[in-house]
Structure 1
Amino acid sequence: MKSLLRAREFWLACVIVVLGLGVSTRSEGFLAPASLANIFNDTSILIMLALGQMVVILTRSIDLSMAANLALSGMLVALINVAFPGMPVPLLMLTAAAFGAALGAFNGILVWKLDIPPIVVTLGTLTIYRGMIYVIAGGSWVNAHQMTDAFKAVPRTEVLGITLLSWIAVIVVLGFYLLMTRTPLGRSFYATGINPTAATYAGIDVGRTRFIGFCIAGMVSGLAGYLWIARYAVAYVDVAGGFELNIIAACVIGGISIAGGTGTAVGAVLGALFLGVVNNALPVIGISPFWQMAISGSAILLAVVFNSRGERQRGRIILKQADTP
């Protein structure tokens, strides 16, 4: 019980519940099952991207190009759908994921082999990927009437009362949970972030581990690219513009330490859900959506403060134990 009360994820879940209960006093239907399903559906893409970013951050890196990767991968499969309308949608989804993974691998190679700081690499590739959208699309949009019905149907199709978009997010969450808690690769991500030098002595290839992290983040971004374009039925250069800030915010709020080595898949999911509840609650309680960024920024600052205090407290305990005869 004590370990549960000390868990950041527990308190974040409590905050989300209290926030939902508070909003429900202004709107009785806010906590209705259909409303909660809509909130999860609206947040599904952010949840998947936050999990991909989590893997990168755990290794003391960061990927600022995930939203640009999403936009480029989405534009690519939209153009393929227009040129080859008979191509099966599952193949298009695999194409988007593979192309996104290739873009992530490009980031990972630059970080691994050339030892360039991740923030510099991904800030550069962010601009490159956005520019590539202009090149492949010629500056034009791909609109709903150009896309096939099958292409647009996947995110909207309901199974057992929940959209396929939400089911895909659930599968991705379960996959990341198993990856981080049940596999040697997941433990390697944590070891690389906690102490890269010790991880190297333990036989872990730190550079290769970071490279794999970027590949996973890219693959998730590519898949999210198809889902985003298919759901909103439009592809253009500025798709998901600035969304990388929401992705990082979800990770930080969920307890993923920017210093690396600390955080869980559950925390990343809760961080994304917190932002999803806030975004859906703003219109209900009469707050302008323009306050969204301010609220998100305040939540990030509070999360960073809590993270840093928790890390300092753990450090003092270790020193105190070391001084004990």
Structure 2
Amino acid sequence: MNVKWTIRREWLLLAIILVIALAVGFRAPVFLTWRNALDIANDSSILAILVLGQMIVLLTRGIDLSVASNLALTGMVCALLGRAWPGAPLFVLVLVALMVGALLGAINGWLITRFDLPPIVVTLGTLSAYRGAIFVASNGAWISDQDIHTSIKGLPREVWLGLPALVWIAIAVVSLGALFLRYRHEGREIYALGNNPHAAQYVGISIASRLFLVYTISGMLAGLAGLLWVGRYSIAFTELAAGYELTVIAACVIGGVSIGGGVGSVVGASLGVLFIGVVNGALPVIQVSPFWQQAIAGAVILISVAVNARADRVAGRQILDKQGVRT
């Protein structure tokens, strides 16, 4: 995709978001308050973390349908660990979340690369498998507020320098993701792989290792999101975040990440998250039925896919260094 087109698309999406916010604010001025802006940002933070991981996968022409199940399973593991070990330090719980999530993501990557299976088939299978694992681990029981570790519940409720901790964590994750894709050769190779897998292999990029990497990263971020989700909502159960993977994919597509691979930016994906956050926040304010939320999201996805398909016909940008690609 042409860089100028990408920038124009991002500005257009930002303009649409502003028009929606101003229109809703005209009808309900409370929507334009700083407090409401913080609420939208806080509500969108976990989605932003998941979207970054999904974006990296989509860049390789793959897809990860298991992110919500990974989130739920990792959240349950952390909740069970916290209940069994009340004195567990927060950093240990965070480390466990990252490791469990990365392991689940690595399973996806291993199955895809080892047996050359389609990502949609593998992650659809692990979506169900991870949900089943939650039921087995918890014996079908819920872990409610009184049994959630105090540190897990406390982290999402922290406020640092005037902003919720969730917002700071999302900013940190998104910023690191942008730096990785922009300045690390692995990040540039991910774009190259998605743009033209055959050419990427020809210049020496290890396709298997890059695919394994992106699914592991996606899983790790889903694990972090699982800990934060359980802490924020103070509950863990088998159907936690069921169907949320569709919202994650929607945010990516709305933000200009192509399902055809090789196209997308962190800024665009973040705007996709903001769009969904603003729409979700606006509907209750203007007293629109929540069922319209899915209809609106579906319509926007179709429009975004059509726009992306049109843009894909534009000459692509250079994605490899002139000196070649390091492996």
TM-score calculated relative to the size of structure 2: 0.94
Q: How many angstroms does 1:6 deviate by?
A: 5.1
Deviations 1:235-278 (A, max 9, x none): 00010000000000000000000000000111111101100100
- Partner secondary structure for residue 255 of structure 1: coil
Give the match for residue 56 of structure 1.
57
Cα 1:94/1:20, change in 2 over 3 Å: same
Give the match for residue 239 of structure 1.
240
Farther off after superposition, 237-246 or 2-11: 2-11
For residues 171 and 80 of structure 2, the distance between their equivalents in structure 1, rounded to whole angstroms, comes to 28
For residues 5 and 83 of structure 1, the distance between their equivalents in structure 2, rounded to whole angstroms, comes to 49
- Partner secondary structure for residue 133 of structure 1: helix
For residues 6 and 244 of structure 2, the distance between their equivalents in structure 1, rounded to whole angstroms, comes to 32
Give the match for residue 265 of structure 1.
266
Q: How many angstroms does 1:201 deviate by?
A: 1.4
The share of aligned pairs that are identical, in percent, is 50
For residues 125 and 36 of structure 1, the distance between their equivalents in structure 2, rounded to whole angstroms, comes to 36
For residues 50 and 5 of structure 1, the distance between their equivalents in structure 2, rounded to whole angstroms, comes to 18
| Counterpart contact for 1:255–1:263, Cα < 8 Å | yes
Give the match for residue 43 of structure 1.
44
Count of residues paired in the alignment:
314
For residues 51 and 207 of structure 1, the distance between their equivalents in structure 2, rounded to whole angstroms, comes to 20
| Counterpart contact for 1:4–1:10, Cα < 8 Å | no
| Counterpart contact for 2:90–2:151, Cα < 8 Å | yes
For residues 284 and 152 of structure 2, the distance between their equivalents in structure 1, rounded to whole angstroms, comes to 31
Deviations 1:160-182 (A, max 9, x none): 22111111001001101101111
Cα 1:4/1:120, change in 2 over 3 Å: closer
Q: How many angstroms does 1:9 deviate by?
A: 1.2
Q: How many angstroms does 1:5 deviate by?
A: 8.5
Amino acid in the other structure paired with 1:190? Y
Q: How many angstroms does 1:3 deviate by?
A: 3.4
For residues 265 and 284 of structure 1, the distance between their equivalents in structure 2, rounded to whole angstroms, comes to 29
Amino acid in the other structure paired with 1:121? V
Amino acid in the other structure paired with 2:308? N
| Counterpart contact for 2:152–2:228, Cα < 8 Å | no
For residues 255 and 6 of structure 2, the distance between their equivalents in structure 1, rounded to whole angstroms, comes to 16
For residues 250 and 184 of structure 1, the distance between their equivalents in structure 2, rounded to whole angstroms, comes to 26
Amino acid in the other structure paired with 2:20? L
Cα 1:27/1:200, change in 2 over 3 Å: same
For residues 3 and 129 of structure 1, the distance between their equivalents in structure 2, rounded to whole angstroms, comes to 41
Q: CA RMSD in A?
A: 1.3
Q: Gaps (5+ residues) in structure 2?
A: 317-327
Amino acid in the other structure paired with 1:239? L
- Partner secondary structure for residue 7 of structure 1: helix
Give the match for residue 155 of structure 1.
156
- Partner secondary structure for residue 110 of structure 2: helix
Give the match for residue 28 of structure 1.
29
For residues 71 and 7 of structure 2, the distance between their equivalents in structure 1, rounded to whole angstroms, comes to 36
Amino acid in the other structure paired with 1:178? L
Q: How many angstroms does 1:309 deviate by?
A: 1.1
For residues 6 and 255 of structure 1, the distance between their equivalents in structure 2, rounded to whole angstroms, comes to 10
For residues 152 and 262 of structure 2, the distance between their equivalents in structure 1, rounded to whole angstroms, comes to 39
Q: How many angstroms does 1:151 deviate by?
A: 2.2
TM-score calculated relative to the size of structure 1: 0.94
For residues 280 and 22 of structure 2, the distance between their equivalents in structure 1, rounded to whole angstroms, comes to 15
- Partner secondary structure for residue 155 of structure 1: helix
Deviations 1:83-134 (A, max 9, x none): 0010001110110111000000000001111100000000000000000001
Give the match for residue 322 of structure 2.
none
Give the match for residue 98 of structure 1.
99
Cα 1:5/1:249, change in 2 over 3 Å: closer
Give the match for residue 132 of structure 1.
133
Amino acid in the other structure paired with 2:228? L
Give the match for residue 281 of structure 2.
280
Amino acid in the other structure paired with 1:237? T
- Partner secondary structure for residue 156 of structure 2: coil
| Counterpart contact for 2:100–2:223, Cα < 8 Å | yes
Amino acid in the other structure paired with 2:136? V
| Counterpart contact for 1:44–1:166, Cα < 8 Å | yes
For residues 4 and 200 of structure 1, the distance between their equivalents in structure 2, rounded to whole angstroms, comes to 27
For residues 250 and 29 of structure 1, the distance between their equivalents in structure 2, rounded to whole angstroms, comes to 25
Cα 1:6/1:175, change in 2 over 3 Å: closer
Q: How many angstroms does 1:47 deviate by?
A: 0.7
Counterparts of residues 1-325 of structure 1 (less than 5 Å) = 3=4, 7-314=8-315
Amino acid in the other structure paired with 2:189? S
